[in-house]
Amino acid sequence: MNTKVMETKERHDRGFNCCQAVACTYSEQFGMDEATAFKACEAFGAGMGGMEGTCGAVSGAVFLAGLKNSCGNLEKPVSKAQTYQLSREITERFKKKNGSLVCSELKGVETKKPLRSCEGCILDAARLVEEILLEKE
């Protein structure tokens, strides 16, 4: 498979937040144009805007799980359980590798001992997208 992992870093270096960097890199592969993904993911950066929430990079990967798996049927939404399973696999593997899903913990805000850099989180989330969402195609 042709990897796009480093493209996530390039987007982050250009000013995309962590969620946007991951989601925008792969959005078109899951049927959403990059500009729409950029807008949809803007509020998920910096741990949902204040470092207290879920890491933006992992939020971007979970966002893509929904794009990949949702049936999109507004009348009979039957795909939630399987999408939740993909989300759970992403979050469990990310947490196992990095020790947390919470931005402030990953950045070491209180402890002054960061668990992982933003760049590291972005690269890890991108690898999980490729391993979990793309390799299973």
**pLDDT value for 51:** 85
Buried b / exposed e along 25-44 (16+ C-beta atoms within 10 A): bbbeebebeeeebbebbeeb
Note the pLDDT tens digit of each residue in 24-47: 999 999 999 999 999 999 999 999
Distance CA 27, CA 16 (A): 14
**pLDDT value for 2:** 79
- Mean pLDDT computed over every residue of the chain: 95
Q: Tell me if the pTM is above 0.85.
A: yes
Distance CA 50, CA 7 (A): 25
Q: Are 83 and 63 in contact (CB under 8 A)?
A: no
**pLDDT value for 136:** 59
Specify which residues 31 forms β-bridges with: none
Cα separations in angstroms, 108 against 32, 83, 90, 96: 34, 31, 22, 17
Q: Tell me the pLDDT of the chain (137 aa) as tens digits.
A: 579 999 999 999 999 999 999 999 999 999 999 999 999 999 999 999 888 899 999 999 999 999 999 999 999 999 999 999 999 999 999 999 999 999 999 999 999 999 999 999 999 999 999 999 998 55
**pLDDT value for 1:** 55
Distance CA 124, CA 98 (A): 9
Distance CA 56, CA 3 (A): 20
**pLDDT value for 59:** 98
